[in-house]
Amino acid sequence: MKIPRPIENLINAFERLPGIGPKTAQRLTFYLLHFPQEELENFASALTNLKTGTKLCSICKNVDEVDPCSICSDARRDKNTIIVTSSPLDVLAFEKVGHKGTYHVLHGVINPLENIGPDEIYIKELISRLKEMVGGGSGGDRGIEIILATNSSMEGESTAMYISKLIRDGGMDEDVVRITRIARGLPVGGDIEYADDITLTRALEGRSSFTS
């Protein structure tokens, strides 16, 4: 039996998503086939609005409905403390534990095996942001703190080291920009987005100075 083309097209589309294999793609497709038409149209509309209804913050690269995002626009936030994460999902995790500073989202980590280099993620935008802050006198007596919160995988560690080296090579010393790394409470290779609140809070509170 030949699978109808509309069904095959949706199966192929699902298979391109991370973590979804052929069997799961088939199950999802045939499940949607039995959806009421109105619910199916709502689902399709939500997918379309995913791109058209969101913006990338020009400051921190987080995803929001507005630019600058609601976090960067909040005057109550500590603008001199920036958590650097690899994903917007990590921002949600840190927000849940009450972080009062701001963020910079890389949208990935350096991974040569997947042809992802420094230019494919938002590293140079972070460096430009820091230089602008330093040049504008941000930080005051306390200075600026960059909290490197990429995952503890080999790729996450190498990305953190690369960023640290870029900051120091850019002439921003410890008195101007303090670089810290979240503590090792998270399992090696573990994703921040899956960490429980207590573990993540302890990892943030136990952060220490970091050098490349």
3-state secondary structure the chain: CCCCHHHHHHHHHHHCCCCCCHHHHHHHHHHHHCCCHHHHHHHHHHHHHHHHCCEECCCCCCEECCCCCCCCCCCCCEEEEEEEECCHHHHHHHHHCCCCEEEEECCCCCEHHHCECHHHCCHHHHHHHHHHHHHCCCCCCCCEEEEECCCCCHHHHHHHHHHHHHHHHCCCCCCCEEEEECCCCCCCCCCHHHCCHHHHHHHHHCCEECCC
* pLDDT exceeds cutoff 60 at 5: yes
d(CA 110, CA 163): 10
Residues 18 and 75 in one domain: no
Confidence (pLDDT) at 139: 59
Identify the domain containing residue 65 by its residue range: 56-209
Q: So what's the pLDDT on residue 212?
A: 61
Q: Is the pLDDT of residue 143 over 90?
A: no
State the CATH number of the domain containing residue 21: 1.10.8.420
Q: Are residues 199 and 121 in the same domain?
A: yes
* Lowest mean pLDDT across 54-58, 73-77, 118-122, 184-188: 184-188
Q: What is the model's pLDDT at position 200?
A: 75
Residue 205 clears pLDDT 90, i.e. is over it: no
Same domain (yes/no): 43, 80: no
* Residue 102 and residue 138 in one domain: yes
Q: pLDDT band at 186, cuts 50/70/90? A: low
Q: Are residues 86 and 171 in the same domain?
A: yes
In the block, residue with structure tokens 């960023």: 163
Q: What is residue 89's predicted lDDT score, i.e. its pLDDT?
A: 94
Please count the structural domains in the chain: 2
210, 160 contact by CB (below 8 A): yes
Task: Give the mean pLDDT of 19-34.
Answer: 95
| CATH label of the domain that carries residue 93 | 3.40.1360.10
Mean pLDDT of the chain: 89
On whether both 38 and 81 belong to a single domain, the answer is no
**Tokens (6 digits) for 198:** 């207590």
- Same domain for 88 and 181, yes or no, is yes
